Structure 1
Amino acid sequence: MTVSPLVWILTLAGILALLAFDYFFHVRSVHVPTLREAAIWSAAYVGIALLFGLGTFVLGGTAMGSEYFAGYITEKALSVDNLFVFLVIVTSFRVPRENQQKVLLIGIVFALITRTGFIFLGSALVNMFSWVFYLFGLVLLLTAGHMLRPESEESHSPDNLMILISRRLFHTADHFDGDRLVTVEGGRRVLTPMVLVIAAIGGTDLLFAIDSIPAIFGLTQNVYVVFTATAFSLLGLRQLYFLLDGLLDRLIYLSFGLAAILAFIGVKLILHALHENNLPFINNGKHLDVAEIGTGLSLTVIVAILVATIVASLLSVRGRTQNAISRIRRDARRYLDSEYTADPSERERIYLRLVDARDYLTALGPKAKQQVENEPELLELCRQVTESHERSRERGATTWTADPAEL
């Protein structure tokens, strides 16, 4: 289906309006989003994306609608995996909780701009050289293999190329100044660490595009569908971050599911490349009569893999234990970090969530308790949180104190 310039203009205007709304009504007013706020707006953005998909079914036909939903679901799943890296970056730079919204929104805008450039570049290459499908397929297969390697928070270092360049070119302050990008230090204007955080997220966005764009081109070559599916998967990512914070570690099999999806799309691309082959060293430059995977089957496989991955992660005792331990460690560090947030209610929320995780871990039984006993750093963090909370109670605070011995 050929999309008219008017439809393109209206679509771009709608996306820019959503970004502007997000900034002026949420991000501009510095605050820590509540779980309810994050859930409502995450659902709202998903609802908008689904309504747009229904519109493509009605106006563009079944094929276009199926391609949109296959692309949207794939890109959304990849974006959830990317949220873990965002979490590591903001934690590593100790970004105050109140200012994380602005960092994420700027990162989303940067991702949208860069991926739009990649989309049009990819479209031009696909139209000019059919062998590009071989390259895209190989990239996805290599990415799938990379995802199967065990990773930790340390493997997602924020010191990427963008950060190294920024640190060399600009002098930055040691501390944040609210959500400002520039502050005054020693009588002169300097950049705040917020610039480095944005540079780190921008650098990772470029890396994410390497697997994201080939993946969606493996499902559709309709540039309009590729762009809208990518854009709507990014919109609402900020709200999803605050909604899933603390739950990301629970999805221990997500990387395996995404690896399977990328490998599946990679095979689909290579089959398509063989069907359109014109490389002289493959079958003498003639097309090969190979079976191709349709959009309907692709959508079914992608949804099935994601459902199986999520269910397996949620039912896994090991996954629940890992999630609880990671959440306790992360929330303990946040609670002890005086610069993490200036909002007393947010610090209280962190503490109560730590207590809930502790109780949940205790309820999992002896195996979980044994795993905690093998984590001396975790016990030491809990001891420090207990002492800090006891001092708060002595100053008149009314909060429950956790006992690390009960872990």
Structure 2
Amino acid sequence: MSTKKALIWVLVWMGLAGIFNLGVYFYMGPQKALEFLGGYVIEQSLSIDNLFLFILVFSSFGIKPQHQRRVLNYGIAGAVILRLIFVLLGIKIVSMFHWVLYIFGFVLIISGIKMMINKEENPDFENNKIIKVLGKIIPITDKLEGEKFFVRKNKILYATPLFAILILIEFTDIIFAIDSIPAIFSITLDPRIVYTSNIFAILGLRNMYFVLGKLHEKFEYVKYGVALILAFTGVKLLVEFFEIHIPIGWSLGIIFTVMIGSVIASVLFTSKSHQEQGKEKKIA
């Protein structure tokens, strides 16, 4: 998929989310509409960092773009089901034990700090524990078999590396959901709003991936914006213990400001660093 086509589809999905949000406004009221918008913005912001990890996974295994699309399609379908389970389970736990929200808040702050201070390193996906465990359950072929997830050789069923990557992507999404679902809980506990805002964000992920695949080197500071958003949502949950409620409007303003600021910083400082590197190469 070309960057232009992917960007158009990203805008289409955002437009559909906006239309749905208008429906929420007219049928459920302005408060629920703000909650949906807040959940959607948080999910989209946090998904950016998750997509960068997808890029690393595919590049590590040398998966071609035409094969990436199939993995992303199945991965998104699995994410839709997993999110429903996480949302229902999470809200059930919170409704029974409200103090769990404060634990979620603490976890989000720690996640944000870790993301902020950890150096950018390429993980060793080929020696990933999940793939090693999968290899003990079912034999995995040494090479890709087109777009197939399974092949049969000598009457023995084998999984292909493409299926192993799909499993890795799904587990990555589970880890991602551990951050994103509690973050939305800082906005609302309405399961309809939490789930629909998640789903609308997820449905545009495949197209967002192909956009970021071309542009991720130019937005290296977005990671820090995502880290700040995680930390902010964690603080928002923790201060509820002291009966301090941060209005949704303020939350949206802070999140928008952080994301726009990180994008502007990426454009300014990344372009300068590239120019300096270019001058050094010319001098050399």
Q: Tell me if both proteins adopt one fold, taking TM over 0.5 as the criterion.
A: yes
Q: Which residue of 1 aligns with 2:259?
A: 306
1:62 aligns with 2:30: yes
Structure 1 residue runs without a partner (length 5+): 1-32, 276-290, 323-360, 374-404
1:368 aligns with 2:277: yes
Measure how far apart 1:307 and its partner are: 1.0
Amino acid at match of 2:259: L
Could you say what secondary structure the match of 2:98 adopts? coil
Measure how far apart 1:127 and its partner are: 0.9
1:246 aligns with 2:197: no
Choose which of 92, 100, 108 in structure 1 pairs with 2:76: 108
Could you say what secondary structure the match of 1:190 adopts? strand
Q: Tell me whether 193-202 or 163-172 shows the greater mean CA deviation.
A: 163-172
Q: Which residue of 2 aligns with 1:212?
A: 180
Measure how far apart 1:96 and its partner are: 2.1
User: CA deviation digits over 1:177-221, x for unaligned, max 9?
Assistant: 211112244674422111111011011111101111110001111
Measure how far apart 1:273 and its partner are: 3.0
For CA contacts below 8 A with separation 6 or more, give which structure has more relative contact order: 2
Does the C-alpha gap of structure 1 residues 176 and 133 become closer, same or farther in structure 2, counting only changes over 3 Å? same
Does the C-alpha gap of structure 1 residues 268 and 186 become closer, same or farther in structure 2, counting only changes over 3 Å? same
Could you say what secondary structure the match of 1:307 adopts? helix
Matching of residues 7-406 of structure 1 within 5 Å:
33-155=1-123, 157=125, 159-185=127-153, 188-275=156-243, 291-316=244-269, 319-320=270-271, 364=275, 367-369=276-278
Measure how far apart 1:152 and its partner are: 2.5
Contact 1:163 1:196 in 2 (8 A): yes
User: CA deviation digits over 1:36-87, x for unaligned, max 9?
Assistant: 3212222211111111111111111111011111110110011111111000
Measure how far apart 1:34 and its partner are: 2.1
Mark the structure with the bigger radius of gyration.
1
Partners of 1:165 and 1:223 lie apart in 2 by: 34
Does the C-alpha gap of structure 1 residues 227 and 156 become closer, same or farther in structure 2, counting only changes over 3 Å? farther
Contact 2:21 2:36 in 1 (8 A): yes
Partners of 1:157 and 1:142 lie apart in 2 by: 24
Amino acid at match of 1:244: L
Contact 1:88 1:156 in 2 (8 A): no
Could you say what secondary structure the match of 1:154 adopts? coil
TM-score, normalising length: structure 1: 0.66
Measure how far apart 1:112 and its partner are: 1.9
Amino acid at match of 1:307: I
User: CA deviation digits over 1:224-260, x for unaligned, max 9?
Assistant: 1000111111001111111221211221221211121
More helix by share: 2
Partners of 2:108 and 2:216 lie apart in 1 by: 23
User: CA deviation digits over 1:267-297, x for unaligned, max 9?
Assistant: 111121333xxxxxxxxxxxxxxx3101111
Contact 2:52 2:212 in 1 (8 A): no
Q: Which residue of 2 aligns with 1:349?
A: none
Q: Count how many residue pairs are aligned between Structure 1 and Structure 2.
A: 284
Partners of 2:228 and 2:124 lie apart in 1 by: 21
Partners of 2:10 and 2:96 lie apart in 1 by: 39
Does the C-alpha gap of structure 1 residues 314 and 236 become closer, same or farther in structure 2, counting only changes over 3 Å? same
Contact 2:3 2:214 in 1 (8 A): no
Could you say what secondary structure the match of 2:71 adopts? helix
Measure how far apart 1:153 and its partner are: 4.1
Give the share of equivalent positions with the same residue, in percent: 33
Contact 1:162 1:202 in 2 (8 A): no
Amino acid at match of 1:108: I
Partners of 1:148 and 1:213 lie apart in 2 by: 20
User: CA deviation digits over 1:318-356, x for unaligned, max 9?
Assistant: x2366xxxxxxxxxxxxxxxxxxxxxxxxxxxxxxxxxx
